[in-house]
Amino acid sequence: MSGKVFLDTNIFVYTQSKTEQEKRDIALNIIEKYDCYTSTQVFNEISNVLIKKLKMPVNEVKEIITAINNCCKISNVTFDTVQKALDIKNQYDYSYYDSLILAAAIFSGCEYLCSEDLQDGQMIDDKIEIVNIFKRDIVDI
C-alpha cells in the first residue's frame, strides 16, 4: 500500500488492546508504516471508548490522543464535511457517523480508509477504498 491512509476509531482502540495482540500489532504496524490521517471526530470517539469501555483515567486518554495527534495528520470536521457525509449516507446507506468518517477521509485525499466496521473492499465515490486491515494482509492492499 502506498499513499495516504485514514484511520477509523477502531484501529486506535486496538492499539490499546491487552487481549488481542495480533490486532494490536497490525494496528501499530499501519501507524508506523504509512502516512496516516484521522479526524477530530475520531478524537471524540476514541476518548469516549477509552473512558467508558476501557475505564482509563483521563490523563492516560490525554496521552493517547496526544500520541495520535503526533503521528497522524488531523482533518477537522467542517460544514463541507457534514454535507459530504449526508451525501454518502444517502448514496451508500452507512450510518451518519460512518459517513462522516468517509467524508473526512475523502477530503483528506486518502486512498484508503482502514476500518474494521465498514464493507471491506468497497470503493466510495471512486476516490477511497475501505480496507479491513484485520481481514486482508497489508501487502494485499
Check whether 1 has a pLDDT greater than 50.
no
What predicted TM-score, i.e. pTM, was given to this entire model? 0.92
Quick check: 94 and 88 in contact, CB under 8 A? yes
CA distance 80 to 73: 18
Residue 3: pLDDT band (50, 70, 90) is confident
- The secondary structure of the chain, three-state, reads CCCEEEECHHHHHHCCCCCCHHHHHHHHHHHHHCEEEEEHHHHHHHHHHHHHCCCCCHHHHHHHHHHHHHHCEEECCCHHHHHHHHHHHHHHCCCHHHHHHHHHHHHCCCCEEECCCCCCCCEECCCEEEECCCCCCHHHC
pLDDT tens for each residue of 68-122? 999 999 999 999 999 999 999 999 999 999 999 999 999 999 999 999 999 999 9
Structural domains for the chain: 4-140 (3.40.50.1010)
CA distance 72 to 34: 10
pLDDT tens for each residue of 57-70? 999 999 999 999 99
Residue type, 97: Y
Check whether 2 has a pLDDT greater than 90.
no
- For 45-63, give one letter per residue: b (16+ CB within 10 A) or e: bbbebbeeeeebeeeebee
